[in-house]
Structure 1
Amino acid sequence: MADVDGRNEAGRVLTMRLIRKGTATSIAAVGILFLAQNTAFAWGDDPGGEGSHTGGNSDSQGNVSASATHSQIRISYPKGGGGSGKTGDLSTIDPNWKPPACWYEPVFTPEGLKNFVKSSGGDGDVGIHQSWFGTGLWTDHYRDGKPEDNMDDAWTSAPGYKNYNQGKKGYFWRSVAPDASDPDSWQCGRIMFWQPAGQVPKIPHAPTPKMLAEYAYNKVKVPETKIELKPQTKSTVNLPTWVWLDKGTFKDVVVRAELPNTGLWAETTAKPVSLHLDPGTDDADTFPASGTCDFNQDGSIGTPYKAGDASQNPPCGINYLHATDGNPYQLKASITWKITWNGTGGAGGDLPDGTFQTTQDMNVQEIQTINR
């Protein structure tokens, strides 16, 4: 067995175990992997595919042929999803929160693993950052019972298996990372391991309903924040600009994530709760003073402008104090979405609120004859 150590652009050590049974290690294979910048993939798969909705390819028994950068988590939208208009991804208000960087999933039945080794020649992934080439290591470890090193911090030893565990009910599980260049993806260092049917492994980074909810958070698509303004084209100094959103414009979005062959699922719900206005200049007042307009009970925000309201302060709006001079103000409007989740076994809770922001030009004129 040959160990090849290299460094990626971030300076982290990348360790690959490469072997060709009865031949020298393929230098060409090493070059291909380094060009892939740490993302190992099983030959024949599309390494550029996102794979988030149905993951990689799988057969009727759930055996997976895709790489460790493809998840089998299935995403659906029971409610919302953005419709046919423009949509965008939520940004979390918590700068320290991020979706899971890596986890483990079931990928092969015993028969499926045996067939994979035979049909592929043994070129594929046993983990996010570890690929085996040629049948040698696959047969040594998964067929002939020889131990092999994990790639965890302690370099623990993984006991081998006899004849791919044929005759047993269960799956071989493998680590998955949507982005193998994420340093946190190295936390899932176990090579592919066995788990009996109907059991989720009790190890760090095993899938949970909350993990699926966090994964689904990253798949929430919300409508573009397009607000109604009056006046629409140009505001006037010291005359309020009314801002509102009609009812029904923003509705709850529900994203469901399911991990096949585990019984685990979660639904993440994004509920619009407020609109925040940033006038784009300090020379402006907002209504209310905080700049945050809450949703009304009917799902609307603010009150539509009507004739005779020009001199009134709106429940949601802006009063510019100085005119623009060729360069419009950049009005930022962002919707805050409250995020909750529920999942397998009655689990549930809150996740950090999300926001989606759009920016539009605001030209402001000054009319000297106006006297309030």
Structure 2
Amino acid sequence: MRGVAKACALAGVSVCALLGSSTTARAIGDNDSQAPSSSKGSGDRSGSTLTASATATHIKVTQIGGGASGRSAKPLAPVDPNWRPPACWYEPVAAPQGLKDAVDRLKKGGDLVPVTPTLSWGEELMVDHYEKGKAESGSGDGYTNYNLGKDGRFWRGVINKNRENDPESAVCERTLFWQNAGTLPDDKHAPTPDVLAAYAYGRINVPSTRVELKPAAKSTVNAPTWVWLDKGTFKEVRVRAELADAGVWAQTMAKPVALHLDPGTEEAKTLPASGNCGINDDGSIGTPYTKGDAGKTPPCGITYLRASNGQPYKLKASITWQISWEGSGGAKGDLPDGTFETAQDMTVQEIQAVNR
């Protein structure tokens, strides 16, 4: 990344500034009416001008199947604690005319032009490099008249807003560069389908439904507590992430595969012993308790061996979601499983009783 002092020295009488990643700045204008609208919270279009922060992205995210909304919508936590979505990537931000318009505004006293997520250039550097074709140290050869008439776009880095304070987000600092239409940068931070799939992972919302219990909240020692979820409660969730300007997309799928029970005490036995209750073919988990099931062993449940003695046990139920993806060009793969956990109070009494 070019430092502030070096950039200002190169600028001469020009003005330059380093913008913090959370600082809102006037970004590059874009006259291409085919450009996709930015996702919610990423920026605002007014005519041919895009006002955006360093975390603004043109990646459009759409939930196309399953999932939840409102208060019932909850994000997944990756099973692998070391896995994280991409901290930053490159994407197209301006057509040639859009870049020229931004510099023209700068010449009239407008805002500096962001050339990386954190660095903006003043008039002299912008004119020399993007209009007059002058090479700049660390930025490669210059461009003639903003590449007007050529088919392609200028690209720069974008920071994942969920990781903007992560040091890894500082690696996408290539100065605003040209990329021909229909091609992706030869860079490990290019927005390839796997990058979009990982980005979509963080936008998956699953329902926070509590498991059904019998007895509902009060059990007895050595009597099994039945646990189940009705069919259709959990369905496959599909989230699509698309960067239309780059011709890249990915669809990330989350499929519920198991319910894991943690009784909240070592003085208990789970059924099955692993605590993992599989998903039935109809989408249900376990079997609902019905009258006459007393004395039977539930396919999914818990038997408490000691009373809770006034302090309820915290029964934890976590759904495991298997994550896979497919994308443009026939790409596909898997991502770490995700989980969502809920907790319920369970009071266990000593009196032996039969469920009715």
Q: Same fold (TM over 0.5)?
A: yes
Specify the alignment match of 1:126 in structure 2: 115
Residue 205 (structure 1) aligned with residue 205 (structure 2):
no
Distance 1:242 1:43 in 2: 58
Specify the alignment match of 1:136 in structure 2: 124
Q: Give how far 1:103 is off.
A: 0.7
Q: Give how far 1:118 is off.
A: 2.2
Residue 57 (structure 1) aligned with residue 57 (structure 2):
no
Q: Which aligned pairs between 1:1-372 and structure 2 lie closer than 5 A? A: 4=4, 17=8, 22=13, 33=19, 36=20, 38-43=21-26, 52-53=39-40, 55-58=42-45, 64-83=50-69, 86-120=72-106, 121-132=110-121, 134-149=122-137, 156-178=138-160, 179-367=163-351
8 Å contact kept, 1:41–1:125: no
8 Å contact kept, 1:126–1:174: yes
Gap runs ≥5 in structure 2? 29-37
What amino acid does structure 1 have at the position aligned with 2:44? N
**Partner SS, residue 256 of structure 2:** strand
**Distance change >3 Å, CA 350–CA 111, structure 1 → 2:** same
Distance 2:50 2:257 in 1: 41
**Partner SS, residue 293 of structure 1:** strand
CA deviations 1:89-143 (Å, max 9, x no partner) are 00111122111111110111110011122235242321123222x3222212211
Runs of 4+ more than 6 Å apart: 18-21
Distance 2:353 2:86 in 1: 59
**Distance change >3 Å, CA 193–CA 325, structure 1 → 2:** same
**Partner SS, residue 305 of structure 1:** coil
Specify the alignment match of 1:152 in structure 2: none
8 Å contact kept, 1:85–1:223: no
Q: Give how far 1:58 is off.
A: 4.8
**Distance change >3 Å, CA 197–CA 59, structure 1 → 2:** farther
- Percent identical: 54
Distance 1:292 1:126 in 2: 51
**Distance change >3 Å, CA 362–CA 18, structure 1 → 2:** farther
Q: Give how far 1:87 is off.
A: 1.4
Distance 1:296 1:216 in 2: 27
CA deviations 1:226-276 (Å, max 9, x no partner) are 100001121111111100000000001000000021111110010101000
8 Å contact kept, 1:53–1:75: no
**Partner SS, residue 25 of structure 2:** coil
Distance 1:92 1:308 in 2: 40
Q: Give how far 1:83 is off.
A: 4.6
Specify the alignment match of 2:35 in structure 1: none
What amino acid does structure 1 have at the position aligned with 2:279? F
**Distance change >3 Å, CA 289–CA 3, structure 1 → 2:** closer
**Distance change >3 Å, CA 18–CA 342, structure 1 → 2:** farther
Q: Give how far 1:55 is off.
A: 3.7
8 Å contact kept, 1:324–1:365: yes
Gap runs ≥5 in structure 1? 6-14, 46-50, 150-155
What amino acid does structure 1 have at the position aligned with 2:129? H
**Distance change >3 Å, CA 160–CA 67, structure 1 → 2:** farther
Specify the alignment match of 1:48 in structure 2: none
What amino acid does structure 1 have at the position aligned with 2:226? W
Distance 1:366 1:174 in 2: 66
**Distance change >3 Å, CA 198–CA 369, structure 1 → 2:** closer
8 Å contact kept, 1:64–1:108: no
**Partner SS, residue 52 of structure 2:** coil
**Distance change >3 Å, CA 60–CA 252, structure 1 → 2:** farther
Distance 1:325 1:230 in 2: 20
TM-score between the two structures when normalised by the length of structure 2: 0.87
CA deviations 1:301-324 (Å, max 9, x no partner) are 100001122322210000111111
**Partner SS, residue 158 of structure 1:** coil
CA deviations 1:206-228 (Å, max 9, x no partner) are 11111111110110000004100
TM-score between the two structures when normalised by the length of structure 1: 0.84
Q: Give how far 1:16 is off.
A: 7.0
Distance 1:241 1:205 in 2: 50
Distance 2:344 2:191 in 1: 41
8 Å contact kept, 1:17–1:130: no
**Distance change >3 Å, CA 215–CA 184, structure 1 → 2:** same
306-315 vs 211-220, greater mean Cα deviation: 306-315
Q: Count matched residues.
A: 339
